[in-house]
């Protein structure tokens, strides 16, 4: 298809390109196998799951593959200050996949590319497109090969490129590390438009820079993901704690144990000690037939309680008593409130697609499309008690209209050569305040409370990082990356000298490189 791009004048006031009303002349044309949308057809690219920002691109490119992406980037580099942003499935919160007046590359159009199983010395890998949804990777790998990736996110309608640009964390990460620790090779179209294959040994700076690289080094067009045999079944269990120190001690005990001596998945969440339908007792039971009995909660139970969520993998052929015994052996080491336990058995695929069912319900209730001012943090073990005391027990004790996740991760399972910024300690917690404003505080209140929480963390000197970071200022980014700032900027400059790859609100402006 022959595509024409519009030239435009750029305002120099803030270093960002702005579409100009005088847009007049056709300045560039390139050949693409895919297609380009302009005008109203770009609306999808001006929104994301967060629903907080609306930023209009000049065009939405639906590439057929890496060659199209390379041509688009090279064409953009010839237009002064034209920016390019990859869009996975647009499930960012703060406009990370948007660009103001630039080109958005819709990676979903490349879903089918590259899908191929590899056997390397007896270990299995799957090559997948950067635009593939993890849920499709899961169902295809399990149904065709009986294999599955090892590390997941809770929700799988996210793209491979989108989560690898951040980290990709869920209840398996304590054992296998985040998703970025489970890929061995990437194909990337760099900010120069070069189509480059990279790995730990081949172009390692590009490989590690792009993992957790916030889309700043290039566009991930293919990833090679480690696979393992998929279990048939999962026993999914929730147990309740009144005391934070007991909850964290048990969670840390489980994530610190060797393979084969713990559960296969460990997460947790905070809930309110009341009957609030979203954040209260009803949030706990997995099995709706056996509800939650608040009469069992000890008198010491404060305004918020804690739920440890674990899962145990098994095969259909395993005898039920063997599974019961193994699970009981693990549970007996934990000090949850006797009687406050809930469990279900379901297939491995159903378990991994559990949030999809929540999505379907939320869509039916009309709350999925409401704004989501989410806050995700990594907080050092040494500060998590302070965080509980101030944030969970005071600031959000009445709930937020959505889940409040908290679970420990192991720093040694992360590769410090990637771009992700982490707290310093070996054990740190993921804390996620997943707000649905239609059933909680307003957008303004939620955003203000998120800011208050982050400012409190800074003021108290907590060892913490934002996960899925988003800052408006160079100072914010410098603080975020800390010692890694120089490495990040130098890496970025070498793969993207024009600085044309721009996440939301063009937070990495050209001036940041100077």
Contacts to ligand FAD by CB under 6 A: 48-49, 85-92, 96-97, 107, 130, 153-155, 158-159, 161-163, 165-170, 214-215, 219-220, 468, 503
Q: Are 111 and 133 in contact (CB under 8 A)?
A: yes
Q: Which of 154, 194, 276, 445 is catalytic?
A: 154
C-beta of 358 vs 448, nearer to ligand FAD: 358
In contact, 65 and 48? CB cutoff 8 Å: no
What are the start-end ranges of the H helices in 195-347? 204-210, 244-256, 320-331
**In whole angstroms, how close is the CB of 468 to ligand FAD at the nearest point?**
5
| Catalytic choice (16, 91, 185, 252) | 91
Question: For residues 369 and 460, which CB has a smaller minimum distance to ligand FAD in the complex?
Answer: 369
The smaller minimum CB distance to ligand FAD, of residues 125 and 152, is found at 152
Checking DSSP bridges between strand 116-120 and strand 123-129, what pairing results, if any?
antiparallel
| Active-site residue (options: 16, 68, 250, 267) | 267
Assess whether 483 carries a catalytic annotation: no
Burial 179-210 (b: 16+ CB within 10 A, else e): bbbbbbbbbbbbbbbebbebeeeebeebbbbb
In the DSSP assignment, the letter for residue 390 is I
The C-alpha atoms of residue 433 and residue 400 are separated, in whole angstroms, by: 7
> What are the residues whose beta carbons fall under 8 Å from the beta carbon of 101, sequence distance 6 or more?
8, 17, 18, 19, 56, 57, 58, 83
Give least dist CB 495 to ligand FAD, A: 12
**Residue closest to ligand FAD, measured at CB:** 161
Is 185 tagged catalytic?
Answer: no
100/166 with CB nearer ligand FAD: 166
Backbone angles phi, psi at 226, to 5 degrees: -70, 140
- Backbone φ, ψ for residue 294 (5° rounding): -65, -15
Tokens of residue 98, six digits: 């948007």
Nearer to ligand FAD among residue 49 and residue 464 (C-beta): 49
Shortest Cβ distance from residue 158 to ligand FAD (Å)? 4
Please confirm, yes or no, whether 114 is among the known catalytic residues. Answer: no
Parallel, antiparallel or unpaired: strands 427-433 and 116-120: unpaired
Work out how close the CB of 262 gets to ligand FAD at its nearest, in angstroms, rounded to a whole number. 20
- Residue 215 C-beta: closest distance to ligand FAD, Å: 3
Active site members: 91, 154, 267
């Amino acid at each position: 298809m022959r595509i024409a791009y519009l030239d435009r004048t750029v305002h120099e006031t803030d270093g960002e390109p702005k579409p100009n009303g005088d847009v007049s002349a056709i300045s560039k044309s390139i050949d693409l196998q895919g297609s380009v949308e302009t005008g109203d057809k770009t609306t999808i690219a001006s929104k994301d799951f967060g629903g907080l920002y609306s930023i209009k691109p000049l065009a939405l490119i639906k590439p057929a593959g890496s060659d199209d992406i390379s041509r688009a980037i090279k064409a953009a580099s010839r237009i002064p200050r034209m920016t390019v942003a990859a869009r996975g499935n647009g499930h960012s919160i703060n406009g990370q996949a948007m660009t103001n007046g630039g080109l958005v590359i819709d990676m979903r159009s490349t879903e089918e590319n590259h899908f191929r199983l590899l056997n390397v010395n007896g270990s299995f890998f799957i090559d997948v497109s950067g635009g593939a949804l993890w849920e499709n990777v899961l169902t295809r790998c399990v149904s065709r090969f009986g294999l599955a990736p090892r590390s997941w996110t809770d929700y799988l309608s996210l793209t491979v490129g989108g989560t690898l640009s951040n980290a990709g964390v869920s209840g398996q990460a304590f054992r296998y590390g985040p998703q970025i620790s489970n890929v061995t090779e990437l194909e990337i179209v760099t900010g120069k438009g070069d189509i480059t294959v990279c790995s730990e040994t081949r172009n390692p700076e590009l490989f590690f820079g792009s993992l957790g690289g916030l889309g700043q080094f290039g566009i991930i067009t293919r990833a090679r993901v480690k696979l393992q045999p998929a279990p048939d079944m999962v026993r999914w269990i929730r147990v309740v704690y009144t005391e934070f120190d007991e909850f964290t001690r048990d969670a840390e005990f489980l994530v610190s144990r060797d393979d084969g001596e713990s559960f296969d998945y460990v997460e947790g969440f905070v809930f309110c000690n009341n009957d609030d339908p979203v954040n209260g007792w009803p949030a706990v039971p997995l099995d709706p037939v056996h509800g939650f009995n608040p009469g069992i909660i000890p008198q010491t139970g404060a305004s918020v309680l804690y739920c440890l969520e674990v899962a145990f993998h098994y095969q259909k052929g395993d005898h039920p008593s063997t599974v019961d015994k193994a699970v009981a052996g693990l549970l007996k080491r934990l000090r949850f409130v006797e009687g406050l336990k809930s469990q279900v058995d379901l297939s491995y695929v159903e378990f991994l697609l559990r949030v999809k069912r929540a999505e379907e319900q939320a869509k039916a209730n009309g709350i999925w499309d409401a704004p989501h001012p989410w806050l995700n943090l990594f907080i050092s073990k040494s500060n998590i008690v302070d965080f509980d005391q101030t944030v969970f027990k005071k600031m959000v004790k009445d709930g937020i209209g959505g889940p409040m996740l908290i679970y420990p991760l192991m720093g040694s399972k992360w590769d410090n050569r990637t771009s992700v910024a982490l707290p310093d300690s070996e054990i740190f917690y993921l804390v996620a305040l997943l707000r649905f404003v239609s059933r909680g505080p307003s957008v303004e209140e939620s955003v203000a409370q998120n800011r208050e929480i982050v400012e409190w963390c800074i003021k108290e000197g907590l060892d913490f990082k934002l996960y899925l970071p988003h800052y408006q200022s160079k100072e914010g980014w410098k603080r975020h990356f800390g010692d890694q700032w120089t490495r990040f900027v130098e890496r970025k400059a070498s793969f993207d000298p024009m600085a044309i790859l721009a996440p939301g609100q063009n937070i990495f402006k050209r001036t940041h490189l100077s």
